[in-house]
Structure 1
Amino acid sequence: MTFSTMTLQHFKEVFLQALFALPRFLKNPIQGMRDLPDWDWPILIALQASLGLVTGLLGAVLTRSLVHMVTSVFIAPISALLVNAILSGFFYYTFLILFKRQISFRFIVTHMLFASIPVLVLNIAASIIPLVGHIGMLASAVLLYVGFRENLHLNELKLRILMGSLVTIYVGVFVFQMVRFHHPDKEMKIRATPESLDILEQELRGLESAD
């Protein structure tokens, strides 16, 4: 069912049911990934955008930045939809090429929607709790693996290799960024030895004497 065929009243009813389904999912996310609903495109798009909007706005409130709050209203839902679409497209073609299976794109989007909940929720506190967003990303990867394994009946070994490789790449990029971020501080500490400071002081005195 599309936006053109779904009446506004029907959309409201199903969307409210979708909202009420979220607390049940949060009580047991693993089981929730095994029993995903079969929602139409309007509900999936509206719910993903709403999750992005609410979590993005709450995260902006914690930063106490008015600019961040205003921009989050527009950027957060669009970002959530784009990330879902891009990753769903990646998995769609990965399953098609590597697993020789054509999975419903809408069903993959549904998996991505529910699996994204941990990272969206934990990213709310990312500005005040370091690394919490990365924990949410790993939790989302676990949920995604459970959903794909239970619902798509793919080759489990290939699926483990695929998801394990993606997690390894993510962790590797994160570690590289951390090392790169801390390297300038370490290099500065090495340069700022007592001997180097004495030399700098002598050079400054020499310049003052020349003047």
Structure 2
Amino acid sequence: MTRFDENSIPIEPITENTDSALLRSWKNGDEKAFDMIYTRHFIRLVNLAYKKTGNMEASQELVQDVFLSLYRQLSRLPEQTVLENYLFIATRNRIYNYHRHQLLQLKKEALLRDNYTPSSGASPDRLELKELESLLRDKIQQLPDQCRKVFLLSREEQLSNKEVAERLHISVNTVEQHMRKALRILRASFNDELSLMLLLLLLKHSSF
């Protein structure tokens, strides 16, 4: 007779293939469930990253990193986690970090080409980012009152134009006019294309 090990927990076979069922099976020790999650979402996430980066190798590395992070966080991952949303947000954040790194590297190279040496001990990329963030905050605060409210609701709270209109009790057309005005004013504060690109990233991910 086979001796029963009371410390071992038998792994139930996967009977459902929804993300939530696979997550439960994976948390119960079934590594095949993770493989199924990986196979289901990997190509879609790589395609998403490629559309935003234009670099297939970098996109694959970004998504591999997403799944590595998911694997490491299994024990802390609630069973009610919506994997599709989790993976999308994680991929989006890594795409942002990729672009931020690329832009800062370009800024650093441009500074080095111009033989620019900061007077402080800060590195060129940190100095440039700090200056851009400071300028961005100042210029947003200088926007006309209603224009600033519309802009922050749209960019900081990520509301749609319709949602902003409902929040402020104005028309969608008025929201669009305020957004165009805000962007026109802010863009005028940046005198080169790289700074403008970095500004657009900061607008999405900075809080004020």
Name the TM-score, length of structure 1 as normaliser: 0.29
* Greater per-residue helix proportion: 1
Indicate the structure whose relative CO is greater, using CA pairs within 8 Å and at least 6 residues apart.
1
